[in-house]
Amino acid sequence: MSAMQASSRIFVAGHRGLIGSAVLRRLREHGHDNLLVVPRSELDLRDAAAVARFFAARRPEFVVMAAGRVGGIVENTMHPAEFMDENLAIQLAVLKAARDADVKKLIFFGSSCMYPRECPQPMAEDALLSGRPEPTSLPYAISKLAGVFLCLAYNRQLGEQRFIPVIPNSAYGPNDDFDPATGHVLSALMARFDAARRAGRDGVTLWGTGAPRREFLHADDIADACIHILRQDVSSLALPVNIGTGTDISIRDLARMVADTVGYAGRIEWDATKPDGAPRKLLDSGRLHAFGWRHRVALAEGLRRTYDWYSRNGSGLDKADA
């Protein structure tokens, strides 16, 4: 199987979102300049015919499929149908076009929410489908499970591992969605505490109990994991493969860390009538560690870098091109 070279044609789908922008940035830093990026205004990835024409005309050799509809508990609860139909449409269109265009290797992003709610910790890849995912993220989880297993089905029929489903844990960093109504927990906390500090508020109330534990991974680490995979012979790599740090933190402790990072010194209160989500989501990343990759960005450093970016850029993410 061909490994990615500096001159390879690489299509980064979702290049303006959190993970896609990190992949694009890191590829450029590694000397890749034959990069294909198209805004949603020019290519709607839900349109299978348009996606097929794009692949036939541009013939990407490698694809990083970072596009899709994402969001936290609130978004999943309010828009379950959109989460399913938009993600399924994008995945079916891009994966089929990539197969038909004989793409050499494609990275597909699953999600840690695909694992059972009561999954043994840390969560190993073999635990997928062994139980029901957390109800508050079920629409997104179902759509992502479909994409992962479509990748595996294509590999079986093709007789080689061209479609590489990876499962990163909670991502954060530049170009995240910092809207408290739609973003994931870390970015939403950062925006809320920053706004409270600026307004001089003496208290912030957060959803849930703060007890659940989560593993957070900087987008640059995810990008580096993807580049590592694209450059290697993956014929012996068991799929799918988790991408994580191996450590987690309670939401309560994370909230205090984020508040300290942004300089908010007020009270943090918890509304236990609101849902917590899954009690814990820590990945077993042994497969990828054995394949030669480990994360580099510690959480405290990642928070500082993310807040520096947020202070300069504001909300960042253009959801139309995520």
Amino acid at 159: G
**Coil, strand or helix at 241:** strand
Right CATH for 10-176+216-246+282-297 from 3.30.470.20, 3.40.50.300, 3.40.50.720, 3.30.365.10: 3.40.50.720
DSSP codes of every residue in 124-141: -GGGTTSSPBPGGGHHHH
pLDDT value, residue 160: 95
Helix (H) or strand (E) segment spanning residue 267: strand 267-271
Question: Does the global pTM surpass 0.75?
Answer: yes
Cβ(148)–Cβ(194) below 8 Å: no
**Residues with catalytic function:** 140
DSSP summary character for residue 120: -
pLDDT value, residue 236: 93
pLDDT value, residue 315: 57
pLDDT value, residue 308: 97
pLDDT value, residue 184: 85
pLDDT value, residue 1: 55
Cβ(210)–Cβ(250) below 8 Å: yes
> Cα–Cα distance between 304 and 3 in angstroms, integer?
35
Segments of the chain scoring below 70 in pLDDT:
1-2, 71-72, 315-322
The per-residue pLDDT of the chain, averaged, comes to 93
> Cα–Cα distance between 248 and 127 in angstroms, integer?
19
Q: How do residues 49-64 score in pLDDT, each as one tens digit?
A: 999 999 999 999 999 9
